[in-house]
């Protein structure tokens, strides 16, 4: 099983990343709506939508949205949230971005928060972008929000980006570490679920970078792997799928992209 199939379908994935902000999503997507000139009623897709954070904001803005994700657990959470918000103009389904989409003639495709670069075979990334191209109507836009490798590589220490660090949410301890090797950023995630078994013995506090010795042997382990595409490499992928590059931005406020310092690499491309 691929790492993303096992990790994204766990409750721990959503716990670890629960800090993601709806306010930030609304500001970012509002900026994009104005920049792209999208109108209420336009049909768009959110590819790799997770639990639908961006999809539902787009729907609240009046767009007709199809959200897809490979994780059935994420899609179920998204569907539950959709029903809670009583949104009629968004639908969710489990789908692999490497396969052709069941929707077409889209005004825009959104691929946000580095929901890309997971596959071992580079051809799968090309195939994914080609599917995005094929689903768009002529003149439609692709917005791809990706991490920027520049600051990560500059601040790494011998390839280490973050040493093993522990935190805790609702009785679950998470240990994470990150490193770069051969153009890929790796993240190791250790999970000790204190809700399922009471730890015993003595050890250092998780907030100080340690973990109780008794929990160590009970940790579940997951990982993330994402390719560190440079700007030129990512733009090259877009062009190979016949996209026309419209712009590249460095942040969610659509600020200028600076390869050495921008936190994000937001590429906007257009179907010719």
User: What are the phi and psi torsion angles at 205 (to 5°)?
Assistant: -70, 140
Instruction: Say whether 39 sits in a helix, a strand or coil.
Output: coil
Which one has a higher pLDDT value, 23 or 226? 226
**pLDDT(137) > 50:** yes
Q: What is the residue-averaged pLDDT of the chain?
A: 90
First vs last Cα of the chain: how many Å apart? 37
pTM: 0.89
Q: Who's near 123: CB < 8 A, 6+ residues apart?
A: none
Four-point Cα dihedral 210, 226, 94, 270, nearest 10 = 140
Confidence of residue 201 (pLDDT cuts 50, 70, 90): very low
Tokens of 77: 């959470």
pLDDT of residue 200: 37
220 to 130, 139, 160, 199: CA distances (angstroms):
36, 46, 22, 14
pLDDT of residue 236: 97
Mean predicted confidence (pLDDT) in 124-133 = 98
Mean predicted confidence (pLDDT) in 230-234 = 95
Q: Are strands 243-249 and 264-271 parallel, antiparallel or unpaired?
A: antiparallel
Can you give the residue ranges of every domain in the chain?
3-147+229-271, 151-227
Q: Who's near 62: CB < 8 A, 6+ residues apart?
A: 39, 40, 41, 89
Four-point Cα dihedral 241, 106, 141, 32, nearest 10 = -150
Q: Which CATH architecture has domain 3-147+229-271?
A: 3-Layer(aba) Sandwich (3.40)
The edge-to-edge listing of strands for the beta sheet with 43-47 is 90-94, 64-69, 43-47, 106-111, 136-147, 264-271, 243-249
**pLDDT(213) > 50:** no
Distance CA 272, CA 241 (A): 11
The pLDDT tens digits for 144-199 are: 999 998 888 888 888 999 999 999 988 999 999 999 999 999 999 999 998 875 44
Q: Who's near 208: CB < 8 A, 6+ residues apart?
A: none
Confidence of residue 17 (pLDDT cuts 50, 70, 90): confident
Instruction: Say whether 228 sits in a helix, a strand or coil.
Output: coil
pLDDT of residue 1: 79
Tokens of 218: 């009970």
**pLDDT(272) > 90:** no
The pLDDT tens digits for 81-102 are: 999 999 999 999 999 999 999 9
pLDDT of residue 216: 52
Please give the DSSP secondary-structure letter assigned to residue 211: -
The pLDDT tens digits for 24-50 are: 899 999 999 999 999 999 999 999 999
User: What are the phi and psi torsion angles at 206 (to 5°)?
Assistant: -60, -35
């Amino acid at each position: 099983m691929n790492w993303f199939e096992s990790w994204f379908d766990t409750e721990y994935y959503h716990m670890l990343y629960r800090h993601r902000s709806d306010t930030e999503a609304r500001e970012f997507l509002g900026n994009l709506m104005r920049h792209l000139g999208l109108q209420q009623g336009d049909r768009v897709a959110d590819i790799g939508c997770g639990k639908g954070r961006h999809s539902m904001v787009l729907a609240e803005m009046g767009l007709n949205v199809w959200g897809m994700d490979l994780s059935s657990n994420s899609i179920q959470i998204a569907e539950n949230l959709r029903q809670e918000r009583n949104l009629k103009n968004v639908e969710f389904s489990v789908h692999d971005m490497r396969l052709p989409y069941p929707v077409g003639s889209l005004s825009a495709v959104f691929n946000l928060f580095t929901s890309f670069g997971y596959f071992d075979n580079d051809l799968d990334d090309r195939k994914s972008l080609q599917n995005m191209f094929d689903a768009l109507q002529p003149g439609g836009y692709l917005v791809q929000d990706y991490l920027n490798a520049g600051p990560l590589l500059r601040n790494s220490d011998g390839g280490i980006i973050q040493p093993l660090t522990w935190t805790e949410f609702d009785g679950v301890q998470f240990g994470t570490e990150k490193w770069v090797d051969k153009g890929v950023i790796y993240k190791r995630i250790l999970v000790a679920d204190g809700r399922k078994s009471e730890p015993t013995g003595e050890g250092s506090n998780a907030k100080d970078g340690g973990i109780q010795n008794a929990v160590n042997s009970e940790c579940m382990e997951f990982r993330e792997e994402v390719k560190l595409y440079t700007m030129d490499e990512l733009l090259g992928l877009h062009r190979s799928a016949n996209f026309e590059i419209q712009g590249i931005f460095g942040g969610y406020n659509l600020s200028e992209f600076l390869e050495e310092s921008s936190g994000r690499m937001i590429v906007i491309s257009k179907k010719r």
